[in-house]
Chains A and B, each alone.
Chain A
Amino acid sequence: MTERIVVVGASLAGVHAAEELRAGGFLGQLVLLSAENEIPYDRPPLSKAFLAGGLGETELALRPADAYAALGIELWLGAQAAGLDAASRRVRTADGEVLPFDGLVIATGSRPRWPAGLPRLDGMYTLRTAADARALAADFARSPSVAVLGGGFIGAEVAATARKLGLDVTLLEAAPSLMERGLGRELGDVAVGIHRDNGVDVRCGASVVGATGSGRVDGLLLADGSRVAADVVVVGVGNEPVTDWLADSGLELADGVVCDEFCATAVPGIVAAGDVARWRHPRHGLMRTEHHANAVEQGMAAARTLLGAREPFAPVGYVWSDQYEHKIHTLGFRRPGDEARMLAPGLTGFVRDGRLVAAAGIDARRELMRLRGTIDQGGPCPARTG
């Protein structure tokens, strides 16, 4: 019988895994390790309401502080996992604690990448943790000019929040439009228009080659020789899975922890979930995704696998973003070669081999949601819907 399950990582995937273990009837010892020193919190507000100062610390918490003890979950704060021996089934923390386990959920998430060759001066940020958001919010309060490097979802959200605070914002993106990987070119261009209408200096096709400033940043240098003045720089150019602590574990790593369709690794009793997991989606093959809904769903799915369920994890894929008064949603998993078809104003479908595999919408939530079943089943792309 399983006696002790350790969940490594106490963000969305880890917390939901721990709760699902209890909901699924696990009565043994349940330890939830967090590398951070504060109770688990939700991440979407970090680039939006929390960054803007409109959401308190209490509301940011994922659960009330006493919720973990109420479920018999031992939440270890400041306990960074430093190593795993899969064969002898032990997790080691940076403080030297050794935790034997019967079951293990790996949910260590991802961390922001930093562009190669870009110096990291004072006033330059990435945004991943609540501590990052607090520091950035404090700097935003000094009315700086802001440059955001990276026009993906996180960069676009930070730009929108900074404008809401009345700051001067330049948004720099290497691709021809914003959030293009999720939205495609046409809606990416719509997003460019939205940000420009809200006063952001959007520069697509921009290649940042360096930063200027002595000690503190005062600008970014572009490949075309121009310079963008900025007192604060926020970098959002993608994430990498946190797997360094697993280097000697014996688990297969390939830009994430490699798992089967049940989120299980090759070692019995070890599963992975969330940003760190590269699992075999029944319809899309081996993949990894870094979005909120996936972390929630996969944490629960991995927990069920650990308890003996055999249900493949096959999410439809869902992402949302709020920017200004606009609501952006995507469904499915888009790949670069997919054909984009405008289905209605603000709604793009992505087609592969004649089948609808993904869709994106700006202020088209209702129309988009109607495509959920078709995308989930890989059905034929409908004609224009409006």
Chain B
Amino acid sequence: MTGGVVHVTAADGTRSAVDARFGVRLMPELRAARVGVIGMCGGNAACGTCHVYVDEAWQAAVGAVTEDELDMLDELSSSDTRSRLACRITFRAELDGIELTVAPHD
């Protein structure tokens, strides 16, 4: 199983490099790294607790926001144009080295 690195800035500003496997959703990988991603609904875009900001340089690589994800993001006061749910991003080689910031929980 191959993987890469996710550069994460936690909500408190702490930076870390998180190892993540290719082919899996980012949410559980980030949750295991204890950077402030909670992922309470188990990856169903229902709880909004894996909200991250994707660095602008990486947005094209990440791809478009899905519809159920958009519904959830609309509810979050902290969401903006960089917002994604980590449970809706599948990590893959093109995302190796991606820069993310964990959004504050509202």
Contact = CB atoms under 8 A, between A and B. Distances in A.
Interface of A: 12, 19, 22-23, 42, 44, 67, 70-71, 292-293, 295-297, 300, 316, 318, 320, 322, 327, 329, 365-366, 369, 372
A12 B42 contact: yes
Contacts of B23: 67, 70
B40 A365 contact: no
Nearest to A49: B68
Interface centre among B23, B46, B49, B105 (most CB of A within 10 A): B46
Given A70-B1, A71-B1, A329-B47, A297 B42 contact: yes
Contact of A318 (B41, B75, B76): B41
Contacts of B44: 42, 44, 292, 320
Contacts of A322: 46
Nearest to A42: B44
A369 B75 CA distance: 12
A42 B42 CA distance: 11
Contacts of B28: 300
Nearest to A295: B42
A63 to B, nearest CB: 9
14 contacts: A19-B24, A22-B1, A71-B1, A292-B44, A293-B40, A295-B42, A318-B40, A320-B44, A327-B75, A365-B48, A366-B75, A366-B106, A369-B47, A369-B49
Given A42-B44, A293-B40, A365-B47, 18 more contacts: A22-B1, A23-B21, A44-B44, A70-B1, A71-B1, A292-B41, A293-B41, A293-B42, A296-B43, A318-B47, A320-B41, A320-B44, A322-B46, A327-B46, A329-B46, A329-B47, A366-B76, A369-B49
Interface in B40-79: 40-44, 46-49, 75-77
Contact of B75 (A22, A42, A365): A365
Closest 5 CB pairs of A and B: A296-B42, A293-B42, A320-B46, A318-B40, A293-B41
A19 B32 CA distance: 14
B67 to A, nearest CB: 10
Nearest to B21: A23
A124 B55 CA distance: 52
A292 B42 contact: yes
A117 to B, nearest CB: 36
Interface of B: 1, 21, 23-24, 28, 40-44, 46-49, 75-77, 105-106
A56 to B, nearest CB: 14
Contacts of B49: 369
A369 to B, nearest CB: 7
Contacts of A329: 46-47
A42 B87 CA distance: 14
A385 to B, nearest CB: 14
Given A22-B1, A70-B1, A366 B43 contact: no
A55 to B, nearest CB: 10
Contacts of A300: 28
Contacts of A293: 40-42
B1 to A, nearest CB: 7
Contacts of A292: 41-42, 44
Given A71-B1, A293-B40, A320 B47 contact: yes
A366 B104 CA distance: 12
A147 B43 CA distance: 32
Nearest to A297: B42
Contacts of A369: 47-49, 105-106
Contacts of A19: 24
A318 B64 CA distance: 28
A59 to B, nearest CB: 10
Contacts of B46: 320, 322, 327, 329
A232 B16 CA distance: 55
Contacts of B105: 369
B91 to A, nearest CB: 13
A372 B42 CA distance: 16
A261 to B, nearest CB: 20
